[in-house]
């Protein structure tokens, strides 16, 4: 499938739950969601004769940003969690200057706020964290705040935005190397640890035009669309193999 194929695709928004609800009611061919479908939802779908099939088609990557004058270059996931839960309070505890750490995060209505807390912090956020309305506000604040640290979607950090910022290298643990999310290869290979999969759900294994559409997303053209929207492509081989196999 290429751009000239005569398939028109209608897209509706509405948040992570909306697509899944439409799929359950058999009102859509593909449901996009940034979260896993729950057991209850699968149950409800099956009662209506819908058999949800899960495809990971892209990933969202969170970058950890600090001010460009910050002396720290790399953090482990554990350090990051402790910084945001308030156990580590000073930059000198992670190899930086003697300066209190200032936490910037999103507001509790944000999916990113919840994702970061459940997967990285695994605890309550420290109550001193400043809650910002959006990614742009966090970037703006970190640019002028030498003590600050923030998390933003890595796709947002293009050349202009990166001015005045330093993007942290992050490692899974003490023993492993720290990687930057700005190098696409680090993300696709799975070396950069703060990513979340983005899902597509279909009714049963896709075939025909639907399969073509989904495979198109994994083509170079499809991947460049994913990237231009601020997300990262995934290592698609295993998935496309499974999609095109007969079982």
Partner 1 sequence: MRGILTLLGYFTIVILVGILYLLLSNTLKAFVNIPFSSFFNFHWNPSAHGEASYGILQLLWSSVLVTVVAMVIAIPLGIGVAVFLSEVAPEKLRSIIKPIVEILAGVPSVTIGFIGIVLIGPFIAETFGLSNGFNALNGAVLLAFMSLPTIVSVSEDALRSVPKSFREASYALGANKWLTILKVILPAAGSGIIAACILGFGRAIGETMTVLMVTGNATAMPDSLFDPVRTLTATIAIELGEVPFDTPHYYALFVLGLLLFIISLLINFLSEWVASKFRYKI
Point out which residues bind partner 1 (CB under 8 A).
Answer: 102, 107-110, 114, 117-118, 121-131, 133, 137, 140-141, 144-148
8 Å CB contact between 206 and 58: no
Cα dihedral 217→221→223→227 (10° resolution): -130
Q: How far is the CB of 116 from partner 1 (least distance, A)?
A: 11
In whole angstroms, the minimum distance from the beta carbon of 130 to partner 1 comes to 4
Q: Taking the complex as a whole, how short is the minimal distance between the CB of residue 171 and partner 1, in angstroms?
A: 23
Report the distance separating Cα 245 and Cα 247, nearest Å. Answer: 6
C-beta of residue 63 within 8 angstroms of C-beta of residue 150: no
**Cβ nearer to partner 1, comparing 109 with 160:** 109
Judged by CB, which is closer to partner 1: 69, or 237? 69
Rank residues 131 and 230 by Cβ distance to partner 1 and give the closer one.
131
Residue 243: phi and psi, rounded to 5, are -65, -35
For partner 1, which is the closer residue by CB, 145 or 227?
A: 145
DSSP 181-220: TTSHHHHHTT-S--EEEEEEEEESS--HHHHHHHHHHHSH
Nearer to partner 1, 78 or 212 (CB): 78
Q: What letters, b where the CB count within 10 A reaches 16 and e where it falls short, cover 23-42?
A: bbeeebbbbbbeeebeeebb
CB of 67 to partner 1, least distance (A): 9
Minimum distance of partner 1 from residue 110's CB (angstroms): 8
């Amino acid at each position: 499938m290429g751009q000239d194929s005569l398939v028109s695709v209608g897209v509706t928004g509405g948040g992570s739950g909306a697509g899944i609800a439409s799929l359950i009611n058999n009102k859509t061919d593909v449901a996009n969601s940034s979260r896993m479908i729950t057991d209850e939802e699968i149950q409800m779908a099956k009662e209506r004769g819908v058999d949800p099939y899960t495809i990971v088609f892209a990933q969202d990557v969170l970058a950890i940003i600090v001010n460009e004058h910050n002396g720290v270059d790399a953090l482990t996931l554990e350090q990051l969690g402790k910084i945001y839960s308030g156990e580590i309070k000073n930059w000198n505890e992670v190899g930086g200057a003697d300066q209190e750490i200032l936490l910037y995060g999103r507001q509790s209505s944000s999916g990113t706020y919840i994702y970061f807390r459940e997967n990285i912090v695994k605890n309550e956020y420290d109550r001193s964290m400043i809650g910002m309305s959006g990614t742009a506000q966090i970037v703006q604040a970190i640019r002028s705040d030498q003590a600050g640290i923030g998390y933003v979607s890595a796709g947002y950090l293009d050349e202009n935005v990166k001015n005045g910022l330093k993007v942290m290298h992050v490692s899974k643990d003490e023993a492993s190397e720290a990687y930057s999310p700005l190098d696409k290869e680090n993300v696709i290979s799975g070396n950069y640890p703060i990513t979340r999969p983005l899902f597509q759900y279909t009714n049963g294994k896709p075939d025909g035009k639907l399969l073509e559409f989904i495979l198109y997303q994994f083509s170079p053209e499809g991947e460049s669309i994913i990237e231009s929207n601020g997300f990262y492509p995934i290592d698609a081989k295993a998935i496309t193999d499974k999609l095109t196999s007969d079982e």
